A and B are shown apart, each in its own frame.
Chain A
Amino acid sequence: MTRSASITSRPGAGDSTQDARGPAVRVVDLTKDFPGGVRALGGVTFDVPRGELTCIIGPSGCGKTTTLKIIAGLVEATSGRVEVDGTPVTGPGPDRAFVFQDFALMPWATVLRNVAFGLELRGVPRREREETAREYVEKVGLTGFEDAYPHQLSGGMRQRVGLARALAVDAEILLMDEPFASVDEQIRRKFQEDLLRLLSHEEKTVIFVTHSIEEAVYVSDQVVILTRGPGRVSKAVRPGVDRSGDSDSIRRSEAYLDWVERIWGELQGYLEK
């Protein structure tokens, strides 16, 4: 996939300023208080351009997962608002699909049933949803494991099931909560590449939470950096790494390493405070 500095070439993704429909997701002044007086978010504001991959990164406890879950509609904000396609979010919806950090697979169901679960809940007839599920099982590279149970799979495979499940419902917006955190380092890099390859064929807006700077710089079009709790947006940057080469040379390229340094510096400032 060829990319240059800041123009994305993902299908459907235009330069965000030219897209008349506006950003896919708009987060405005989000705050979240938890019982016990803990303020997780102290006013988070950022835009998620349509068709792009936006990463939310920050130190532990800065509220990145909370922000993601508020966008997903799984958690209610204390104040502020989230708009998806201009409509305020009031709960989960068919326009957003979630990939969980701990996989959240049903241990009693096969891979195929897990992947088809979103469709099952929508009442899609069995034959149709199994067909769709098989497609996505193939896309994530788990062909042959349709009838396996989650306990028979490795962590990486389980996460792919979660990803397939989220893709199968064909939502415009994909929300991923540290999807590769529970996966081995070697596999993690491969997953990042696989994810980009997968997304290059789909027209999706992706919001991705991670605490790995390398990951953020490698996969994203935009990186939103949150400060430590109560979280606020410290900066939103666009690394625009050139992905025309092979992955190894990209990860050694100056631009890539520069960006990692820059973001690291940004975060360090907050760690010391």
Chain B
Amino acid sequence: MEAGSAVGSVRIRAGRAAAGLTSPWVLKSASILFVLGLWQWAGTVPVSIAFPSCTETLAALWDMLVDGTLASAYAETAGPLIVGILLTGVGGVLAGLVMGLSRRAEWLGLPLFIVLQASPSAAIVPLITFIYGIGFTAKVFAVVLLSAPVIVLNSYRGIANTPRSLLEMSSAFLASRWQRIWKVVIPAGSGLIFAGLRLGVAQGFTGAILAELIITPTGVGDLITYYRSVADYPAMFASILSIIVVASVSVTLLQRAEQRLFRPEMRAL
């Protein structure tokens, strides 16, 4: 992928810039500056009363950082998010494992999780209050609801798709069933399992925010709702910006970790 595609040769070759100027870092930073600039322009025009400029938003962000509102909001959001991810991480991977190893579990569970993955299960979030009220548990449930299917399905795919040649090899060298599962199937599937966890974390963020916007005004979701209600648009945008950044950074870190831990080894040999 990094080697560049020959399809690129279709484009006109005129104007090949000097290599230094087109290095990825330079381009990416330039694009960030460009987007921020565009934002600033749109905010000062202004495109709408409700659209703050970039500088206003960043100023509000700074204020919230300094006076601790961001910190306490994130502390509130983080709790259910982390607990929920831990639950689905452990439970979901186990479920995927069982489904990958047992035909019966696969028959029972796979259609269910495929349905759950494809449905707009967010619709269930408002219902959660009926069982779990508006507290911590309700928010954890929202996180679990949104992140479980993708974790389970990816773990299942990792376990169920062990390369045949490795299975044959372990058989040839007299592995017992447990040895095969522990020493071959799980390591072979660990790449997909981790990818599932990464995707699950991204979904978990969505679940946490959704819960805070719909069920119970706490944490970052509450910041967004509150500032909108008082028409403090710079602060609202700042809150939104912060969660986008936090989520992206977390998921990107996981992606880096995944690439370092798994990529070279995941090529089936």
> Do any beta carbons of A and B sit within 8 angstroms of each other in the complex?
yes
Chain A: residues with CB nearer than 8 A to chain B? 72-74, 92-94, 97-98, 100, 102-108, 117-118, 120-122, 149-151, 158, 165, 169
Tell me the complex Cα distance, A118–B176, Å: 12
Which residues of B (176-191) have their CB < 8 Å from a CB of A? 176, 179, 183-184, 187-188, 190
CB neighbours of A72 from chain B (8 A): 172
CB neighbours of A120 from chain B (8 A): 183
Tell me the complex Cα distance, A105–B267, Å: 11
CB neighbours of B269 from chain A (8 A): 102-107, 150-151, 158
CB neighbours of A73 from chain B (8 A): 172
Instruction: Known pairs A107-B265, A107-B268; list 17 more (Cβ under 8 Å).
Output: A72-B172, A97-B172, A98-B173, A102-B269, A104-B165, A106-B188, A107-B264, A107-B266, A107-B267, A108-B188, A121-B176, A121-B179, A121-B183, A149-B264, A149-B265, A151-B264, A151-B269
**Which of B169, B183, B187, B190 sits near A104, CB closer than 8 Å?**
B169
Which residues of B (246-269) have their CB < 8 Å from a CB of A? 264-269
- Minimum distance in angstroms from B168 CB to a CB of chain A: 6
What are 22 residue pairs bridging A and B, where the CB atoms are less than 8 Å apart in the complex?
A: A73-B172, A92-B174, A93-B174, A94-B174, A98-B172, A98-B173, A100-B172, A104-B165, A104-B169, A106-B184, A106-B187, A107-B268, A107-B269, A108-B187, A108-B188, A118-B174, A121-B170, A121-B173, A122-B174, A149-B264, A150-B269, A151-B264
Is the CB of B175 closer than 8 A to any CB of chain A? yes
Tell me the complex Cα distance, A72–B169, Å: 11
- Minimum distance in angstroms from B242 CB to a CB of chain A: 38
Is the CB of B171 closer than 8 A to any CB of chain A? yes
Contact B265 A151 (CB under 8 A): yes
Q: How many B residues are at the interface, by size bracket?
A: 20 to 34
CB neighbours of A93 from chain B (8 A): 174
B169 to A, closest residue via Cβ:
A104
Contact B265 A98 (CB under 8 A): no
Which residues of B (22-76) have their CB < 8 Å from a CB of A? none
Is the CB of B87 closer than 8 A to any CB of chain A? no
Is the CB of B166 closer than 8 A to any CB of chain A? yes
CB neighbours of A165 from chain B (8 A): 173
- Minimum distance in angstroms from A133 CB to a CB of chain B: 13
CB neighbours of A169 from chain B (8 A): 173
Tell me the complex Cα distance, A83–B262, Å: 43
Contact A121 B268 (CB under 8 A): no
Which of B174, B187, B264, B269 has most A Cβ within 10 Å?
A: B269
